[in-house]
Amino acid sequence: MKTVQDYIRTIPDFPHEGIMFRDVTTLFAHPRGFRMAVDQMLHPYAGMQIDAVAGLEARGFILGGAIAHQLSVGFVPLRKKGKLPGKTIEQAYTLEYGEAVVEVHDDAITAGQKILLVDDLLATGGTAEAGVKLIERLGGDIIACAFVIDLPDLGGRTRLEAMGLQVDALCAFDGD
């Protein structure tokens, strides 16, 4: 029987030499694999109150939308700067080669809402941490951060857990 990890393609030397890119588009393209990932991402939160799912651009939108649908809750997009049409708040974060900014509409989350943060991959944790900060600035309570893939050698899980967050991932790839 296949696991979620079996549906993930590895592309060597993308986007730079020496990087082993973990491509979830092959997971999304396979109906059984995609369904398995969504179901397994939901499992740790069975019976918990979740008011909305927040997804990090871009693959977090695909997963987050599917999870929000299954939970019958709303979806909150956390987008790159300049992509949302309404009034936003923003959070800068550090990338390997510079800095980026993520935004959310300033009325997307109300104080006290229970939020599940979702993305495809956890590497250094910078993008996820920026998303957490945005949600918390709007008064949301993060119940957990859920990912398909964890790259433990890059320290993202440790970073988020040091913030007191529950972190769940369906699979891990060492050495990346």
Q: What is the pLDDT of residues 17-29, one digit of tens each?
A: 999 999 999 999 9
Closest C-alpha to 116, from 146, 78, 89, 137: 146
Enumerate the domain spans of the chain.
4-172
CATH of domain 4-172: 3.40.50.2020
Partners of 52 in beta bridges: 74, 115
Band of pLDDT at residue 176, cut at 50, 70 and 90: low
Percent of the chain with pLDDT over 70: 99
How far apart CA 57 and CA 62 sit, in angstroms, is: 9
* CA angle, residues 35, 7, 10, in degrees to nearest 5: 140
Closest C-alpha to 37, from 68, 80, 79, 66: 66
- The reported pTM is 0.96
* CA angle, residues 56, 21, 82, in degrees to nearest 5: 30
Q: Assess whether pLDDT exceeds 80 at residue 153.
A: yes
Q: Is 59 a catalytic residue?
A: yes
Q: If phi over 0 gives left and psi between -120 and 50 gives alpha, with beta otherwise, what is residue 117? A: beta
Q: Among residues 9, 35, 96, 161, which one is catalytic?
A: 96
Q: Assess whether pLDDT exceeds 70 at residue 79.
A: yes
- Name the more confident of 26 and 97: 26
Q: Does an H or E element contain 134, and which?
A: helix 126-137
Q: Among residues 9, 17, 32, 59, which one is catalytic?
A: 59
> And the tokens for 146?
């859920």
Q: Is 157 a catalytic residue?
A: no
